[in-house]
């Protein structure tokens, strides 16, 4: 399967992750009000697993593969944040201990990753429209919620993207700002508590975006690029200083029909996916306290 089709699968799913050995991919589906984890090999689904029957239909979710089964963050059918892990003894998915009740905006999205200390970090838009960071403590089984202060007011239902910077280990949350319609990045340096907001990329403004994937561009850490899914199910590439590049349209069957210029852009996507995955695996090899 082409990298372009893999990109389309990532952007159209509720959540996406790579297999620990890099041989396959995972997607999450929430369309029917449940969270279902799908394990893909090539363009075929090898297996499906029901994670929870409480999910807001059509909402975003996140899957983090770990050696002991994985971590799932999702939005429940009552629009609250849930974090679950696979309990090997019980042989089922169980909810995190001590998780505070966090209300999500009716149209809000959610993303998650592991930070540089192997703690779970969930970013979401709350019912007041603010961006919130929910984080597992690296000392005990508690969780903290903090507003991502310094961020511009996000657009209602903004798509979100989250990552750890390879060099600085800073946590970055990307979103669409209401004021200018551009992609902004809120960055918290490793060991810091304050967030710094910067304008990252223009969006062109012609179509609203419903999914967003931000990464480093070809010129290093100070340069960004993004792939996004528009409200019309078009996959586009956003690059600083350039016009929005239309890569193709995703049909109801999930198949992307590429534009004539699409394939020439995709080597960057494949490279970044592999690098992101390697960083995640390195972090996950550290023994975890909560998910054991």
pLDDT digits (tens, 9 = 90+) for 117-151: 889 999 999 999 999 999 998 777 789 999 999 88
Q: Quick check: 50 and 80 in contact, CB under 8 A?
A: no
User: DSSP letter at 128?
Assistant: T
Of 128-132, 180-184, 251-255, the least confident:
251-255
Query: CA-CA distances (angstroms) from residue 234 to 31, 98, 136, 246?
Result: 20, 40, 35, 7
21: pLDDT strictly greater than 70: yes
Domains of the chain listed by start with CATH number: 3-284 (2.120.10.70)
Give backbone dihedrals phi and psi of 4, rounded to 5 degrees, phi first.
-65, -45
Give pTM, 2 decimals.
Answer: 0.89
The H or E element that residue 283 is part of is: helix 266-284
State the greatest distance between any 2 C-alpha atoms of the chain, in Å, as a whole number.
53
Number of Cβ within 10 Å of residue 220's Cβ equals 8
């Amino acid at each position: 399967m082409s990298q372009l089709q893999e990109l389309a699968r990532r952007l159209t799913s509720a959540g996406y992750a790579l297999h620990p050995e890099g041989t396959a991919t995972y997607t999450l589906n929430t369309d029917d009000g449940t969270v279902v984890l799908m394990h893909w090999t090539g363009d075929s689904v090898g297996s499906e697993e029901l994670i929870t029957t409480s999910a807001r239909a059509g909402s975003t979710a996140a899957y983090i593969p770990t050696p002991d089964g994985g971590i799932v963050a999702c939005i429940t059918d009552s629009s609250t944040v849930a974090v679950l892990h696979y309990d090997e003894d019980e042989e089922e998915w169980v909810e995190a201990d001590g998780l505070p009740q966090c209300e999500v905006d009716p149209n809000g999205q959610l993303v998650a990753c592991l930070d540089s200390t192997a703690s779970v970090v969930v970013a979401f838009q709350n019912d007041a429209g603010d961006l919130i960071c929910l984080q597992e403590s690296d000392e005990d089984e508690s969780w903290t919620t903090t507003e991502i202060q310094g961020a511009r007011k996000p657009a209602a239902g903004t798509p979100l993207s989250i990552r750890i910077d390879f060099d600085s280990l800073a946590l970055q949350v990307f979103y669409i700002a209401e004021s200018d319609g551009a992609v902004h990045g809120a960055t918290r340096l490793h060991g810091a508590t304050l967030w710094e907001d910067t304008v990252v990329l223009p969006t062109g403004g012609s179509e609203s975006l419903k999914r967003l994937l931000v990464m480093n561009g070809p010129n290093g850490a100070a340069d960004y690029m993004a792939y996004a899914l528009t409200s019309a199910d078009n996959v586009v590439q956003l690059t600083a200083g350039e016009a929005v590049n239309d890569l193709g349209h995703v049909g109801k069957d999930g198949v992307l029909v590429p534009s004539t210029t699409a394939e020439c852009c995709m080597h960057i996507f494949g490279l970044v996916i592999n690098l992101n995955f390697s960083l995640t695996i390195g972090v996950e090899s550290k023994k975890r306290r909560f998910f054991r």
